[in-house]
Amino acid sequence: MLSLKRCFGIALLLLLAITAKAQQSTPITLKELLNRADQKAPTLLTDSAAILIRQAQAAETRSSWLPNLKLNYQADVGTSNNTTGPYFGFGIIPSSSGGIHNTNVTTAVGDNLGIASLDWEIYNFGKYGAQNKVANSDIKVEQNQFAQSKYQLEAYTIGDYLQLLRLQDFLAIQVRNIQRNQQIRRSIESLAKSGIRAGVDTSIAEAELSKARLNYIELNNQLKQVQLQLSAVTGLPYQSIVPDSTVEAALINQPSAALFAPDTINHPIINFYRSVYQNSLQREDLVKKLYNPKISLDAAAWERASSVNASGQYNSISNGYGFDRGNYLVGLSVSYNLFDLRRKQLKLRTQKASTQYAMKKLQEQQQLLSVSSSQADVEMQTALERLKEIPNQLKAANDGYRQKLSLYKNGLTDIVELDAALNILYRAETDYMQAKYTYANALFQKAITQNQVNTVLNLLK
């Protein structure tokens, strides 16, 4: 049974070594990963298609000034009886032109009619221009929405990349912890065989070793989950997404990176909310001009024929086909609905409320970015202070473990104190790893908040 466990331990160590070597052989830089995400992320591909929709809508809006030119033709057969009296047409009462008969005539009449009609809203006091400005503003909002999506994807990718670094460091710590527990177990086995130690120590050591292996398995699973998340946005096989282990050290050795100036003019989040606010202002202007008077050009030309001649005689129905009379009509019209004044006031009040909301959202985002930047500064300062102190903790914990191991081998202490020393060393290593991660994460958080990610990436060359 013991040989099987030893074989399992050796196999696990070999697997860890192979995995570590594979990870170190082909690391991918953060810049490469971000470029890949920009090209392959499904969300960005979808958002880029939304821009095309807005551009098509803007082209449609620019064509709204075009006139209506309608061509109509009809050939009819029916009676022609009229009487005196007004009525509303309702759009459904057919027209019958001609004189009034003394009796109701049932003789069929043949006629035809061809019409070309034009109506053109030639001037509306700025409505067309306001519509085009809103359409262009909609494109700008969509473009800034796309830029914001790229920004959020960038933050997401950086966060996952740093998590990979953290888990990679954690796995390395677990490998060392497994090796130490195996060393302790071998010492206990040797001491137990010689009767210096009780057999229960072997069980305790075996339990600690098993716990270390389980921790490694769980951490390895977490690392693969993060790799899968990055694979979903980059299209890369998840096994190939191995972080560059030099990132944290490169950033820690260049603390001047924390001094970069914020870029508030081109910040994607600010640009997006600013464009939403500007879009709302443009819509206010459109509402003001939407209910203005309209000046239209109307024109029509038509020809017709009828089987009834000028003296009122009914001829063959076929005589009604073939134009023999023509007319035209041209005019300018002005239309204005007085109740549009009230509609304009109500709609403008609603739009002003939307503009106020957009302005508040812009101010909110500016404040949130400022707070986030300050929080990142505090985190970075705290992490730097911890990084200065932790080496002392790490050295003391390492010395304490070696002393306890030596005392245990000589029968001067027990397994409980040795495990306590081992746990202190393990905690010191994890504290150091967490401090490095916290500093790098805070630095990138500040870079993301201040739109200076490329500045930090340039430090990693």
Per-residue model confidence (pLDDT) at position 171:
96
CB 428 within 8 A of CB 386: no
User: 168-177, 194-203, 209-218, 310-319: which has the minimum mean pLDDT?
Assistant: 194-203
Higher-pLDDT residue of 420, 459: 420
- Residue 263: is its pLDDT beyond 60? yes
CA-CA distances (angstroms) from residue 164 to 179, 413, 456?
22, 39, 18
Report which secondary-structure segment, H or E, holds 232.
helix 199-234
DSSP 340-363: HHHHHHHHHHHHHHHHHHHHHHHH
Q: If you average pLDDT over residues 442-449, what whole number do you get? A: 91
Q: Which residues pair with 70 in a beta bridge?
A: 117
Q: Which of 405, 413, 370, 422 is nearest to 211 (CA)?
A: 422
User: Hey, is 243 helix, strand or coil?
Assistant: strand
- Residue 254: is its pLDDT beyond 90? no
pLDDT tens for 376-406 read: 889 988 988 999 999 999 999 999 999 998 8
Q: For residue 95, what is the DSSP state? A: P
- Residue 68: is its pLDDT beyond 50? yes
Backbone angles phi, psi at 68, to 5 degrees: -100, 120
User: What burial class does residue 172 get, using C-beta atoms within 10 Å of its C-beta: 0-12 exposed, 13-18 middle, 19+ buried?
Assistant: middle
Q: Rounded to an integer, what distance in angstroms lies between the CA atom of residue 461 and that of residue 455?
A: 11
Four-CA torsion 10, 15, 18, 20, nearest 10 degrees: -110
Per-residue model confidence (pLDDT) at position 195:
67
Per-residue model confidence (pLDDT) at position 249:
85
User: What burial class does residue 286 get, using C-beta atoms within 10 Å of its C-beta: 0-12 exposed, 13-18 middle, 19+ buried?
Assistant: buried
pLDDT tens for 155-200 read: 999 999 999 999 999 999 999 999 999 998 888 887 777 766 666 7
Q: If you average pLDDT over residues 199-219, what whole number do you get? A: 89
Quote the mean pLDDT of the chain. 89
Q: How many helical (H) and strand (E) elements, i.e. helices and strands, does the chain have?
A: 10, 4
Q: Which residues pair with 301 in a beta bridge?
A: 116, 328
DSSP 2-41: HHHHHHHHHHHHHHHHHHHHHHHHS-B-HHHHHHHHHHH-
